[in-house]
Structure 1
Amino acid sequence: QHKHDVFPELALDLCCYGPIERGLDASHGGVGYYNFGLDAAALATTADSFAAIEQRVEREGRLTWEALYAHLQADWAGPEGERARLMVRGIPRYGSGGSRADEWALRITEAFVRLVKQGPTPGGYNMIPGHFSWANTIPMGKTLGATPNGRHAGTPISHGANPDPGFRQDGAPSAMAAAIASIQCGWGNSSPMQLELDPGLGRDDGGVDKVAALIRAHMDLGGTQVNLNVMDAQKVLDAHRDPSRYPDLIVRVTGFSAYFASLSPEFRQLVVDRIIAEG
């Protein structure tokens, strides 16, 4: 109803027949057919939470429902809270390959797609499901309490369709590539894979070929989009400490690129954490 005022569809307005001829934004009746992309966020946060509950509460009985609820309300405070937090974080997580969290991610995606595609909006718009958090991981996380995957209240949610960074011990991204390929929503909207690569990889024997093989395999398995950062970790750390030293440094944030110095300190920290953990 208000999109034409606050976020006009510039590309559609310029490239489609109708908006210029009718003098209307695409979202306000300028085109004959108009789709809405409906993007889900926090897939890893949610899938890991369900898997942690299933394993630690339902199967093993190491936590009761009451204890888990109390820890969440207290944001994992105190020694017992931290012990419980580490316990739920210690499960095989989404993106580790063949885990229950991987299965939960697929189950959640299938339910999301089914609900979105039940029918158009009351205004008659077709909804296209996908996984995309854009630049909203920080503001969405600020309004969310502690979650059963061990995440603290107010901290960022997981990024897009990616697993939470930093949990893979071997650093191999193949399981992540397979997991993200498996949860594509299938209607034309994307669930991208975000890759953080060190430029030294290009100097390694066969490094470029390995990255190319990973991307091809991801696409062959059903992937739809890959976002790449090829970034020296030390340079990113230096730029975070003093952005004025690197005014031209560009990073791939998610589905868009931005000057690193233009990002808020919180968002710069998020990008740094992601690159350090995954690079």
Structure 2
Amino acid sequence: LVWIRWHPNIDQDFFDFCLETLSGPTCFPLMMSDMAVPAMFMALGVSREDAFDYVAAGCNELAIPGQAYFNPNAHVGYLQALEQALTSGRGYKGQWPANPNLPPPSSLKSFDDLVGGLGRLMRRQVEQSYAHEMGVLAAQMSWGQTPLTSCFFDGCIDRGRDMIGGTKYNILSCGGTAFANMVDALAAIREVVYERKDATLDEVARACATNFQGYEPLRARLLAAPKHGNDDPRLKDIVQLVEQLRDEPMKAICRDPRDGTPFGNCHVVRSGAVLGGRHTPASPDGRLAGTPLASSVAASAGAEKSGPTALLNSILMLNPAKSWQSGYNVNMRFQREMLTDPSDRAKVRAMLNSYFERGGQEMQINCVDTATLRAAQKDPDQYRDLVVRVAGFSEFFTKLDPAIQEDIIARTEHGG
């Protein structure tokens, strides 16, 4: 993992060199912002001095080197909660027992009624995920000691304790999956069901249950609703709502039992956007069953229609210090000429400077066009050295599962 730390006084010649490097055969460097990341750690109780010593760890989760034990095992699923809300807990296929505490969709007369039910369902997910995380932590403390690794963490030798409990900071996190899908789904439901009254919640649920077979006109209306990634002001309140649906129960429930530290929030999916999507039914954003979920907080594949600046403006609707203390991914794909041509590269650099100045946390770039990726699929022997960024990690394109290859190709390709 090669990454740089952007800050307001970054040498612009160096930043230009980094962007030019991205046009080569690798996908490095990844970029983190000193304007955003330290504030996120300080919100978790980390001192200012230590917060500015942060590093990217794993894929691009965040850590304090030699000072913190980090474990991101808790996760909640936005679309699962929405599926339960639309089916009184039964699921689109009746795969779960009905929940007598959930009202039928026909009784949810307003968007606020739906959101209220979602809040209760998300709270239950957080409770279950927190219990799982505590079980994992207890097992690690009992049987997962790592004495050699612990020697390299400050405080462990002085305290005579393993890194799981002996470090200066304990940082646990709760992640959410399918963030952009949830934003798009709620935006579509609000517009199609509650504003235009073109369908009912029951009809939306039946459409998802059948993978939209026989409901093609309804799917078209759901797809035409506002989509995350296009700088649409109609989505700002929904972006903040989806953050809140996870944040409020997490902050009320999730505390580290060792020192009471609140959990951080994250959305790092690695290749899970594809793998998770395989087992996820159709969703009210118009996404078909089995297709990939959105990758972290960026737009769903193909949803961004208004250019790279609009995508970044959409990301800036998020609140990193409050809602993403443990990291998120932003993947963008550019045509190679955008980073090889000095004039175009200067425009990209100005755009990224603005993004980070306004609070953007992270950025990672693929610089490869669709034609090259298709050629690599047809003749992999000629493209063995082609490296692409999947999520927080990179891999040789020809070694990837075909479904992950298609997910990368489906990402919007920005050009001049």
TM over 0.5: yes
Q: How far, CA to CA, are the matches of 2:283 and 2:221 in structure 1?
A: 13
Residue 267 of structure 1 corresponds to which residue in structure 2? 404
Q: Which amino acid aligns with 1:114?
A: E
CA contact (8 A) 2:180 2:294 kept: yes
CA contact (8 A) 2:174 2:266 kept: yes
1:236 and 2:376 matched: no
Root-mean-square deviation over aligned CA pairs: 2.9
Taking a change above 3 Å as real, the CA distance of residues 182 and 99 of structure 1, as seen in their structure-2 partners, is closer
Q: Which amino acid aligns with 2:315?
A: I
Matches within 5 A, 1:154-233: 154-170=290-306, 172-186=307-321, 188-204=325-341, 206-233=343-370
Q: After TM superposition, give the deviation of residue 85 of structure 1 in Å.
A: 0.7
CA contact (8 A) 1:240 1:269 kept: no
CA contact (8 A) 1:72 1:148 kept: yes
CA contact (8 A) 2:251 2:263 kept: yes
Which of the numbers 30, 48, 64 marks the counterpart of 2:200? 64
Gaps in structure 1 of 5+ consecutive residues: none
Q: 1:141-168: per-residue Cα shift (whole Å, max 9, x none)?
A: 1222111000111211111000113234
Matches within 5 A, 1:1-279: 1=136, 2=139, 13=150, 15-17=152-154, 26=163, 28-78=164-214, 81-121=215-255, 123-124=257-258, 126-170=262-306, 172-186=307-321, 188-204=325-341, 206-274=343-411, 277-278=413-414
Q: 1:188-229: per-residue Cα shift (whole Å, max 9, x none)?
A: 322332110111113556211111111111112211110111
CA contact (8 A) 2:273 2:294 kept: yes
CA contact (8 A) 1:182 1:221 kept: no
Taking a change above 3 Å as real, the CA distance of residues 82 and 137 of structure 1, as seen in their structure-2 partners, is same
Taking a change above 3 Å as real, the CA distance of residues 149 and 230 of structure 1, as seen in their structure-2 partners, is same
TM-score scaled by length of structure 2? 0.59
Q: After TM superposition, give the deviation of residue 184 of structure 1 in Å.
A: 3.4
Gaps in structure 2 of 5+ consecutive residues: 1-135
Structure with greater contact order relative to length (CA < 8 Å, sep ≥ 6)? 2
Deviates more, 1:195-204 or 1:88-97: 195-204
Q: 1:75-114: per-residue Cα shift (whole Å, max 9, x none)?
A: 1003xx1111111000121121134334212221133223
SS in 2 for 1:66: helix
SS in 2 for 1:261: helix
Deviates more, 1:108-117 or 1:252-261: 108-117
Bigger Rg over Cα: 2
Taking a change above 3 Å as real, the CA distance of residues 246 and 176 of structure 1, as seen in their structure-2 partners, is same
The aligned length equals 273
Q: After TM superposition, give the deviation of residue 13 of structure 1 in Å.
A: 4.7
Q: How far, CA to CA, are the matches of 2:329 and 2:170 in structure 1?
A: 23
Q: After TM superposition, give the deviation of residue 20 of structure 1 in Å.
A: 7.5
TM-score scaled by length of structure 1? 0.85
CA contact (8 A) 2:365 2:389 kept: yes
Q: 1:218-275: per-residue Cα shift (whole Å, max 9, x none)?
A: 112211110111113222111123333222211111112222222212111111222x
Q: Which amino acid aligns with 2:316?
A: A
Q: Which amino acid aligns with 2:217?
A: R
Taking a change above 3 Å as real, the CA distance of residues 234 and 4 of structure 1, as seen in their structure-2 partners, is farther
Q: How far, CA to CA, are the matches of 1:152 and 1:92 in structure 2?
A: 17
